[in-house]
Amino acid sequence: MATEITPPGSFLEAPLTPPPTEEKTSSRSTQRALNYFKLHRAGYRPQYWWQHRLKLADYTETLRVLDSDQSLREYVRDKVRYDYDPYSSSLSIRMPSPVHDVFCAKIVEEILRQLQHFQQRDGASSEFVNEVTHLTTSRILIPDIIRDGKPTYSQREPDASFKHRRARYPGVIIEVCYSQKSQRVSHLADEYILNTDRSVNVVIALDIDYRGSRKATFTV
């Protein structure tokens, strides 16, 4: 499944459906999502995680409106991390703190340093590692459910991932968690691994949101 299904478009490519010949009024749910993207651009980000119920048709409409607004489209593409789950009809916008971003960068830096040791060796391990790339927060479209005979897709933006050049999906995904995200990481791991037919091999969750307990967790 993972190698045969072509992902739908997004505001980065073509819209999921052709825009109508006449401009139509967006739904209240679509408008709320667009308003939050605008607030994000204006610097208003009151929490680390914002979740909004958004049906697939409204999500498609959101992408269509973004396609028509070049300034907002480019901002969302470059600055906003968000996930969309058609099964639960939910749009989640991630707003990690600088602490989370720096921590993730340090983890990636250490992994890349260790990979260099394998690159310097001879044999199959060196050949394999030389084909592995760090993808930072690249967007991933994952097959989700079938509607009316057509597949739909979840859009995910992991905090970091490592992908072999010949693979369709990253083999290793890293998620740095905070309170809201920690509650969903098991679901995310199931989706990453099962819905890609194990093209994603491993999901690593790092929870540093210990809030007084002084205990961080490392989950594979």
pLDDT one-digit tens code per residue, 143-154: 876 667 677 888
Instruction: Grade residue 11 by pLDDT with cuts at 50, 70 and 90.
Output: very low
pTM above 0.85, yes or no: no
Q: Does residue 3 carry a pLDDT above 80? A: no
Q: What is the mean pLDDT of residues 149-166?
A: 87
Q: What is the mean pLDDT of residues 80-89?
A: 85
Output the pLDDT for position 120.
85
User: What CA–CA distance (Å, rounded) separates 20 from 39?
Assistant: 27
> Does residue 158 sit in helix, strand or coil?
coil
Decide which of 72 and 139 is more confident.
72
Output the pLDDT for position 24.
57
Selection from 115, 131, 217 nearest residue 175 by Cα: 217
Q: What is the mean pLDDT of residues 163-181?
A: 85
Selection from 82, 63, 53 nearest residue 13 by Cα: 63
User: What CA–CA distance (Å, rounded) separates 109 from 172?
Assistant: 15
Locate tokens 């060196």: which residue?
Answer: 126
Lowest mean per-residue pLDDT among 13-27, 65-79, 156-170: 13-27
Q: What is the mean pLDDT of residues 13-26?
A: 47
Percent of the chain clearing pLDDT 90 (strictly above): 30
**Alpha-helix residue ranges (DSSP H) falling in the chain:** 28-41, 56-68, 70-79, 98-119, 124-129, 179-182, 185-194
User: What CA–CA distance (Å, rounded) separates 179 from 105?
Assistant: 20
Q: Does residue 63 carry a pLDDT above 50? A: yes
